[in-house]
Amino acid sequence: MTQRAPRPRRWLAACVLPALVAGSAWWLYQPAPTAHTDAHTDARPALASPASTGGRAPSPSTPATSTAPSLALDPPAPDDPVAARTPVSLGPEPFAGSLAGTDIDGALKANSTGELIVDLETRDFFDYFLSSVGEVAPEQALDQIRTLATTSLPPAAAEQAMTLLDQYLAYKQQALALESAPLDPARQGDPDYQQQMLRQAFTDLKRLRQSVFSPEAHAAFFGLEEAYGEYTLATLDIARRTDLSPSAKTALVAWHREQLPAPLRQTEQRLIESNQSNQQRIEIMTTASSPEQAGQQLREQGMSVEAATGVTDYLREREGFERRYQEYREALTHLQTAGLAEADLAAQRTRLLHQHFPDEQQQTWARLEMLGSKAP
């Protein structure tokens, strides 16, 4: 018997790790975040960086020490002014079609002494251009970064930006290798093993970042991301504990939430409040005696008239569907006793479906109901 090859650990980074940093993906009806505000604004360390020598990044197992390639970043004054920056747009005809009509995400900036300011916008700027690779050649995307750096920033800041870009590219390449590490196929279905490997993947990625970047650049690029990752892993650990009461678990999660940086803490609190509000709305829709009563209670809870009217209309439509579905089930049961050949029986089932549900959406609802039941 051929043994299956070990499954790569890519799922941890490609599927699970983004959930650690995306901001509570499990909440229902999560409000759309404003780009680079809640999770980024006022929490991006602004770090001025004099030039330094580059070099090959050590392996992920190398401790974060002075051997890591470093820009020797020194924290600037709190109000270090931006003296130069890259433009906000590539103009009406960018080098990649997918970027048409968009502003450049992030920016490269220099302070009044001509040094690069390294913050989360620096990483956003790199990612904006690197996202076009595949549509254009990598060299073309990198050339765009280089051109904007050299034409917009003082020479020292431009050189520092390119050194940091080299480090960022080296990090991405090594991170890809980490993601490909195999899982034990005999244990990959074990929740304890999954959580153990999730923690290990997060730790390995963090160690890799520490080995490639200076402490200041590491904090600027990944500080918020890792803070939320640690919080999420802690909540997963708490959820699996059997020695804690529900109230104790809630208290521990609340304590970990208070350790988050202020922007993340505020965003997480809003998500929790939004989820609680949505749970209340779902309960109203489930328990209301009529669609009209559900709409009225939702308006009283603060839902707009337009949205509440939409819910009422939907619930009315579902009520009508449920009545027709019961009639449809009865007709199918009667059809089973008609003694038809299988081909004729299938044709009659299709005829009944269209007869009771002329609307295509309700036909889909009926098929889903049939899949979840023991209907004939």
Chain mean position to CA 182: 24
Rounded to whole angstroms, how far apart are CA atoms 114 and 309? Answer: 58
Q: How many domains does the chain have?
A: 2
* Confidence band, pLDDT 50/70/90 cuts, at residue 80: low
Residue 339 shares a structural domain with residue 216: no
Q: In this structure, are residues 217 and 116 in contact, taking their beta carbons and an 8 Å threshold?
A: no
Among 17-26, 280-289, 307-316, the least confident range:
17-26
| 112 domain-assigned | yes
Label residue 53 exposed, middle or buried (CB < 10 Å: 0-12, 13-18, 19+): exposed
Range of the domain at 342: 288-371
- The pLDDT tens digits of the residues spanning 244-267 come to 999 899 899 888 888 888 888 888
140 shares its domain with 28: yes
Residue 107 has pLDDT above 90, yes or no: yes
> Looking at the predicted structure, is the pLDDT value of residue 272 above 60?
yes
Which residue, 187, 222, 257, sits at the end of a domain? 222
Name, of 27-31, 239-243, 337-341, the range with top average pLDDT: 239-243
293 with 175, same domain: the answer is no
- Residue 135 included in any domain: yes
- 235: its two tokens: 């909540």
Alpha carbon 252 to chain centroid, angstroms: 24
pLDDT at 355 over 80: yes
- 200 and 335 in a single domain? The answer is no
Q: pLDDT band at residue 119, thresholds of 50, 70 and 90? A: very high
CA-wise closest residue to 73 among 46, 47, 108: 47
pLDDT tens-place string over residues 358-374: 888 888 888 888 876 65
Which region holds residue 101: left if phi is over 0, alpha if psi is between -120 and 50, else beta? left
- pLDDT band, residue 11 (cuts 50/70/90): very low
Domain stop point among 194, 222, 250: 222
Has residue 70 got a pLDDT over 60? no
Q: How many CB atoms lie within 10 A of CB 300?
A: 10
pLDDT for 297 beyond 60: yes
Residue finishing a domain among 174, 200, 222? 222
Average pLDDT of the segment spanning 219-245: 90
Q: Is the pLDDT of residue 135 over 90?
A: yes
Q: What is the pLDDT, as a whole number, of residue 44?
A: 34
Residue 5: inside a domain? no
Q: Are 332 and 350 in contact (CB under 8 A)?
A: no
User: Does residue 273 sit within a domain?
Assistant: no
| Model pLDDT, residue 210 | 95
Is 100 within a domain?
yes
DSSP 99: G
With cut-offs at 50, 70 and 90, classify the pLDDT of residue 71: very low
Most confident of 8-22, 210-224, 321-335, 338-352: 210-224
pLDDT band of 37, cuts 50, 70, 90 = very low
Q: For residue 298, give both structure tokens.
A: 């939702």
Among 64-73, 148-157, 169-178, 315-324, where is mean pLDDT lowest? 64-73
Asked whether the predicted pLDDT for residue 97 surpasses 50, the reply is yes
Q: Is residue 205 classed as helix, strand or coil in its secondary structure?
A: helix
- What the block records as the tokens of 144 is 């765009």
Which of residues 99 and 42 earns the better pLDDT score? 99
Average pLDDT, the chain: 78
- Flag whether the pTM goes above 0.75: no
pLDDT average, residue stretch 1-21: 37
CA 178, CA 26: separation in Å to the nearest integer? 26
Q: Rounded to an integer, what distance in angstroms lies between the CA atom of residue 277 and that of residue 188? A: 36
Please report the pLDDT score of residue 376 as a whole number.
52
Residue type, 279: Q
Q: 220: which 2 tokens?
A: 């600027």
